[in-house]
Structures are given as structure tokens and as C-alpha cells.
């Protein structure tokens, strides 16, 4: 339709619409130069955005790196601070324990165990004299350490009774059980920390009484059938003291689980059985039984020797107090270890001759000095 054919009233409207359409079309035409300018503008804008993004990422990286370094430093500082706090706290606990020990007239941590031994040893049920004979304990010390106060083994055992860390913890647990279940009063620790064990170890090799206390309380625990392990009780009921002592000595050396409910002859059979089984487990058991058997035999031999020395002391009419006599018989028994190359009756005779020689020295000292020799003098004379 041409404009001429459009009614008069609509012509103006038609022109206005056509102008609008043509105007929109014209404005949409962009010259090449304008297009290039716009592309340059867009490129600049994109570059700016890219640089901005890179700078932003660099900023994040820097922050992250600084945060990591700071975090590492802070974490390390916190760990060091926590460790220091733990050490300080433990030191405070040990200081409080020290104050409590002074209040109770106890000089150090090991004195708690010495006090416990003195109290428990009065109870014949816990420490029967016919089982724990003096010569049995001395013989055990001869075998364990040759009576050396500062003796140390390759396995970490210390003192005259060769106390181990595990047995110290076991003894502490036992004393706490007695406190909870009986009228026994225990003022020592509920359990031993690493620092406390280190303190006790230093004391054990300075004073033999501490080592004896730990060793004897451990023997009580092995013997106790209510709150301990009940080792040797069956033999004791039958009146077999020697088998009772053998069982207790074997348990002290190898552990209660290895020997409980087994006779000495059974130990030998198991030793021979495991000797020919070449697995790690079997060989461990073989060594454990072999060591326990050798240990017990040596202790019982020492015990017999100590008894023979005491008999000769009586025959010679030597009058010594208990402390000196116990020290003397131990020193002579250890000296007699040096006799080799003879056996049977010949060895027995040789032991008697040497024992008499040592006792004559003591007798001459007493007669010449008109006093008893000190422990140090006995050691020199023997």
C-alpha cells in the first residue's frame, strides 16, 4: 500500500512510524572505525579486569601464605606453650607431693614403699617367715645383683633386687588395691608417672633398702591369693615349702603367668619341648623357661651355702648381730663362687676349708680389736 492510498487521518501516523523504524536501523549501523574503537575499549577493559583478577589472586596467595606461616608459628607456639604448661603442672604436682611427704615425715617418694613394706611384713599371712626365709631373700640378691647396690642390667633392672619398671607399676597397683579392699593405709601415688619412676630409679641405686622394699612387696603380691597372683599356694597347703619357694622365685624371674599351676618338672619338660620348635614364639618360651630354671637352681644352691656358713659360725662360737651376720654370710657365699675345677665331696670339702679361713679372719679381728667389725671392714677381711 502506498502513502497516497492511506486515508488522510492515518498518513501522519504512518510517516512517524516509518521514521522510527528508519531511525532505529540507522542507529544500528556502526562504522568500521567505531567498531575498532569499541574493540579497543573492550580490550582495555578486559585487560584491566584480567590485571585486577591477577592482583586479586596474588593478594589471596600472599594472605594465604602469611596465614600459613603465621598459623605454623602460632601452632608451634601453642604446642610449646602447652608442653610447658604440662611440665609446669607436673612440677607443681611433684612439689605438692614433696610437701606432703615432709608433713608425713617421709623424705622422698621411695619412702612410701619402704614404709609399706615394714607394715605389710608384720602380717604373717602376707609375708610368712617359713616361706620368705632370710636366706632365701639373701640368696636371691646374690643371684640378682651379687649384692651390688648400683647394679644395672642390660634390660633396665636396677638395684640389689633388680627392680624393673613394670614391677614398680605392678607393686603400686597392688598397694592401691590393698588400700581400697582392706584396712591398709597407703599414702603413695595411685599410679607412677614417668618422672616419678625416674626419681625412684635414682633412689634405688643409692639405698639398697628401697630396692629390697620393692622386691619384697612384689613377692608378697605374687604370694597373695586374694589380691595378688596366688603363686605357690597349692604347694604350701601340702607343706612343701621348697616347691613353694621355687614357684615364687620362678615367677619373680619369668612372670607369674609362665609358671603358675606348673611344677618345676613341668618347666623342664616345656623347656625341652620348645627347644626343638623353631618359631619365634616357641623360642621365646624356651629361653624364658631355661632362664627361670637356671635362676631357681642358682638361688637354691646359694640358700644351701648360706645355711652351711651359718652352721660353721655357730660351731666357731662367733657372736654377731643379725645385720653383720647376714652381711658376712652373703660376702662369703659370693667369694666361694670362685672355686672351680672340683665337684661332689671334693668341692664340698673345699668350700668348708675356704669358709673356715674367712671366719678365722673375722674371729681374729674381734679378739685383737675387742669389737665387732663394721660392714666395710668385713668386706675388706673377706
The pLDDT-based confidence of 340 (bands split at 50, 70, 90) is confident
Residue 112 shares a structural domain with residue 219: yes
Tracing cell 647376714 back to the chain, one arrives at 326
* Gap between the Cα atoms of 121 and 91, Å rounded: 33
Number of domain units in the chain:
2
For residue 327, the model assigns a pLDDT of 97
Distance between CA atoms of residues 149 and 327, nearest Å = 13
pTM: 0.73
Q: What's the pLDDT at 344?
A: 86
88-97, 282-291, 308-317, 327-336: least confident range: 88-97
| Domain assignment of residue 361, yes or no | yes
Question: Which residues 6+ apart lie within 8 Å of 227 measured at CB?
Answer: 174, 177, 178, 181, 182, 221
Would residue 274 count as lying in a domain? no
Cβ-proximal residues to 313 (8 Å cutoff; 6+ apart), any chain: 320, 325, 328, 329, 359
User: Cβ contacts of residue 350 below 8 Å, gap of 6+?
Assistant: 339, 342
User: Is 44 within the bounds of a domain?
Assistant: no
What cell numbers appear for 171 in the block?
607393686
| The domain boundary residue, chosen from 177, 204, 228 | 228
pLDDT tens digit sequence for 160-216? 999 999 999 999 999 999 999 999 999 999 999 999 999 999 999 999 999 999 999
Query: What confidence score (pLDDT) does residue 3 get?
Result: 43
Cβ count within 10 A of residue 324: 18
Domain hosting residue 369, numbered range: 317-381
The pLDDT score that the predictor gives to residue 358 is 97
Within a domain: 356 = yes
Residue 107 is predicted with a pLDDT of: 85
Q: 103 pLDDT exceeds 80?
A: no
Closest CA to 298 of 174, 150, 190, 143: 143
The verdict on residue 251 lying in a domain is: no
Distance of CA 147 to the CA centre of its chain: 24
Over the stretch 106-133, which tens digit does the pLDDT of each residue have?
689 999 999 999 999 999 999 999 999 9
Task: Please answer whether residues 246 and 296 qualify as being in contact, where contact means their C-beta atoms are separated by less than 8 angstroms.
Answer: yes
Mean pLDDT for the chain? 82
For residues 39 and 221, the model is more confident at: 221
Domain termination residue (choose one: 196, 228, 260): 228
Residue 342 pLDDT grade (very low, low, confident, very high; cuts 50, 70, 90): confident
Rounded-to-integer distance, Cα 374 and Cα 370, Å: 13
Residue 162 pairs in a beta bridge with: none
pLDDT attached to residue 54:
54
Quick one: pLDDT band at residue 59, thresholds 50, 70, 90? low
Average pLDDT (14-19) is 46
Which parts of the chain fold into alpha helices (H)?
Answer: 8-28, 32-103, 109-120, 134-145, 165-181, 194-204, 208-223, 233-237, 241-254, 256-259, 264-275, 280-316, 322-335, 344-369, 375-381
Provide the residue count of the chain: 382
Question: Which residue has better confidence, 12 or 273?
Answer: 273
Q: What is the pLDDT of residues 135-161, one digit of tens each?
A: 999 999 999 999 999 999 998 999 999
pLDDT classification of 29: cutoffs 50, 70, 90:
very low
Residue 167 domain-assigned? Answer: yes
Out of 228, 246, 271, pick the residue that ends a domain. 228
pLDDT value at 30 more than 90: no
- The verdict on residue 170 lying in a domain is yes
The answer to whether position 299 is within a domain reads no
Quick one: cell of 246? 621355687
Asked if 381 and 373 count as a contact pair (C-beta separation under 8 A), the reply is yes
Say whether pLDDT at 4 is over 70: no
Position 52 confidence tier, pLDDT thresholds 50, 70, 90: low
What percent of the chain stands above pLDDT 70? 72
C-alpha to C-alpha distance for 322 and 294, rounded to whole angstroms: 29
Phi, psi (degrees; rounded to nearest 5) at 192: -95, 130
Amino acid at each position: 500500500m502506498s502513502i497516497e492510498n492511506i486515508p488522510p487521518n492515518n498518513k501522519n501516523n504512518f510517516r512517524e512510524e516509518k521514521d522510527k523504524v528508519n531511525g532505529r536501523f540507522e542507529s544500528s549501523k556502526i562504522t568500521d572505525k567505531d567498531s575498532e574503537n569499541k574493540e579497543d575499549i573492550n580490550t582495555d577493559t578486559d585487560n584491566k579486569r584480567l590485571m585486577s583478577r591477577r592482583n586479586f589472586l596474588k593478594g589471596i596467595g600472599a594472605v594465604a601464605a602469611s596465614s600459613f606461616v603465621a598459623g605454623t608459628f602460632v601452632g608451634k607456639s601453642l604446642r610449646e606453650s602447652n608442653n610447658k604448661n604440662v611440665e609446669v603442672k607436673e612440677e607443681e604436682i611433684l612439689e605438692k607431693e614433696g610437701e606432703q611427704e615432709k608433713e608425713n615425715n617421709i623424705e622422698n617418694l621411695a619412702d612410701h614403699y619402704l614404709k609399706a613394706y615394714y607394715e605389710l611384713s608384720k602380717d604373717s599371712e602376707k609375708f610368712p617367715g617359713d616361706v620368705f626365709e632370710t636366706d632365701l631373700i639373701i640368696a636371691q640378691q646374690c643371684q640378682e645383683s651379687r649384692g651390688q647396690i648400683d647394679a644395672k642390667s642390660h634390660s633396665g633392672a636396677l638395684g640389689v633386687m633388680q627392680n624393673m619398671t613394670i614391677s614398680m607399676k605392678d607393686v603400686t597397683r597392688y598397694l592401691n588395691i590393698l588400700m581400697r579392699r582392706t584396712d591398709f593405709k597407703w599414702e603413695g601415688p595411685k599410679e607412677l608417672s614417668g618422672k616419678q619412676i625416674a626419681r625412684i630409679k635414682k633412689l634405688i641405686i643409692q639405698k639398697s633398702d628401697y630396692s629390697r622394699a620393692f622386691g619384697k612387696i612384689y613377692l608378697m603380691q605374687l604370694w597373695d591369693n586374694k589380691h595378688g597372683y596366688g603363686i605357690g599356694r597349692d604347694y604350701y597347703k601340702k607343706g612343701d615349702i621348697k616347691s613353694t619357694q621355687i614357684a615364687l622365685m620362678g615367677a619373680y624371674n619369668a612372670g607369674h603367668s609362665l609358671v603358675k599351676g606348673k611344677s618345676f618338672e613341668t618347666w623342664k619338660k616345656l623347656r625341652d619341648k620348645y627347644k626343638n620348635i623353631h618359631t619365634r614364639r616357641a623360642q621365646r618360651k624356651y629361653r624364658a623357661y631355661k632362664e627361670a630354671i637356671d635362676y631357681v637352681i642358682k638361688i637354691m644352691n646359694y640358700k644351701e651355702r648360706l645355711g652351711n656358713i651359718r652352721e660353721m659360725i655357730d660351731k666357731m662360737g662367733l657372736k654377731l648381730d643379725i645385720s653383720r651376720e647376714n652381711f658376712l654370710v652373703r660376702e662369703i657365699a659370693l667369694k666361694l663362687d670362685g672355686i672351680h675345677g672340683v665337684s661332689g665331696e671334693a668341692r664340698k670339702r673345699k668350700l668348708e676349708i675356704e669358709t673356715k679361713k674367712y671366719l678365722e679372719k673375722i674371729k681374729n679381728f674381734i679378739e685383737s680389736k675387742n669389737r665387732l667389725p663394721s660392714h666395710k671392714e668385713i668386706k675388706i677381711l673377706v
